Amino acid sequence: PQLALTGCAVALLPLLIVWRSKEPNKQRKLLAVTLALTFELIMFGAFTRLTDSGLGCPDWPGCYGQANPLQSHADIKA
């Protein structure tokens, strides 16, 4: 449940930014926000792949049954 709520909150972020915008062309604003978030996702994915950081949690999405990898720090060390 915690991971699903976090995912919904992150997914609604672009819509909230566009909805609160005073710009008359909201589609352009939504496109800009979506492109920025897509670029950030690609960059974080590349960083994770290039540093082999994704190998710490074998059961994605989640980490040893937890939504936050910091909560399962002891399992990762083991």
Q: Rounded to two decimals, what is the model's pTM?
A: 0.53
16-49 core/surface letters (b: 16 or more CB in 10 A; e: else): eebeeeeeeeeeebbeebeeeeeeeeeeeeeeee
**CB neighbour list of residue 19: distance below 8 Å, 6 or more residues apart:** 26
Q: What is the pLDDT of residues 41-75, one digit of tens each?
A: 999 888 887 877 766 666 666 666 766 666 666 76
| pLDDT of res. 37 | 86
